[in-house]
Amino acid sequence: MQQFKALLLKEWRESVRSFKIIWIPLVFVLLGISDPLMNYFMEDILQAVGNMPDGFMMTMPELQPADLLMASTGQFQSIGLLVLITAFIGSVSRERQNGTATLLYVRPMSFTALFFSKWIVASMIAILSALAGYAGSMYYTVLLYGTVDLSKFLAMLGTYCVWLMLVMALTVAMSAAFQTSVAAAITIILIPVGLLIDTLIGSFWSVTPWKLAQYGTGLLTDSVLMENYWYTLLVVLILIFVIVLLGIKMSKNNIRYLKV
């Protein structure tokens, strides 16, 4: 337990020193406030830009508060996930490549504690970023468009946090299994590209881990079949468990990549 606390503190300090604890939440805040502000002031922006044909009229759709939160989720799912993957994809592999992991591996160490320390810190920063992003989106959505049912919003937020824990588990596990460039390519294919594929042809299936965030936003509008939601949530929780186990195993097996 003491070893786990020491590793957890080490990971947290590294995140603080590299300013991940600051700049990643700021990215999510900017993504979260962009949709409410852009949609609300779009007509003013178009008028300020000018150069529109005579008689040109643009009718803006009447958006509901839930629509803006769903749009913010879309921003997090595209740009936000890429930022998180890029920030943490080298959490294990980069330490092996630059030799800093030697200081850890030369002494008796629990690879379970090593993996959990990296995954927990990565998940904490990801969840903190999502909370900051949704707080910004919620503030301007309520200010400009109207209120949202708080219980439904919290259910959506909790669902998205579970999804981020899966993303971070996969990111750290891929970092433990491969070198940084390979791990980044595989993770991007499995997460952002997987989300894109599910968006394009996902109507043929109803239960996949990529649908969890979508089902979470569906809770806001009562547009999700709860049976599909619970099955998807269960699949994601099982995947988190399996990926964590594989990540621990890969952390131990791939000491051969260590540079001394």
Give the pLDDT score at 167. 95
- Rounded CA gap, 66 and 48, in Å? 28
Please say whether the dihedral angle defined by the alpha carbons of residues 191, 97, 240 and 13, taken in this order, is positive or negative. Answer: negative
pLDDT averaged over the chain?
A: 85
- Between 6-20, 24-38, 226-240, the lowest mean confidence (pLDDT) is in 6-20
Decide if pLDDT at 21 tops 70.
yes
pLDDT tens sequence across 27-67: 999 999 998 988 887 777 666 666 666 655 666 667 888 88
Q: What is the pLDDT of residues 151-198, one digit of tens each?
A: 999 999 999 999 999 999 999 998 888 877 788 888 888 898 888 888
| pLDDT of 105 higher than 70 | no
pLDDT of the residue at 60: 64
- Specify the amino acid at residue 224: V
Residues whose CB is less than 8 angstroms from the CB of residue 248 and which lie 6 or more positions away in sequence, other chains included? 111, 112, 115, 176
- Number of other residues whose CB lies within 10 A of the CB of residue 119: 26
Q: CA-to-CA distance for 80 and 74, rounded, in angstroms?
A: 9
Nearest in space to 155 (alpha carbons), one of 208, 215, 94, 92: 215
* Contact call for residues 108 and 2 (beta carbons, < 8 A): no
For residue 52, give both structure tokens.
Answer: 């529109």
For residues 125 and 19, the answer to whether their CB atoms sit within 8 Å is: no
Give residue-wise pLDDT tens across range 195-231: 888 888 877 888 999 999 999 999 998 889 999 999 9
Would you place residue 121 in the very low, low, confident or very high pLDDT band (cuts 50, 70, 90)?
A: very high
Residue 14 has pLDDT above 80, yes or no: yes
10 Å CB burial of residue 189 (0-12, 13-18, 19+) is exposed
Q: Can you tell me the mean pLDDT for 88-108?
A: 67
In this prediction, what percent of the chain has a pLDDT beyond 70?
85
The model's pTM:
0.90
pLDDT at 108: 63
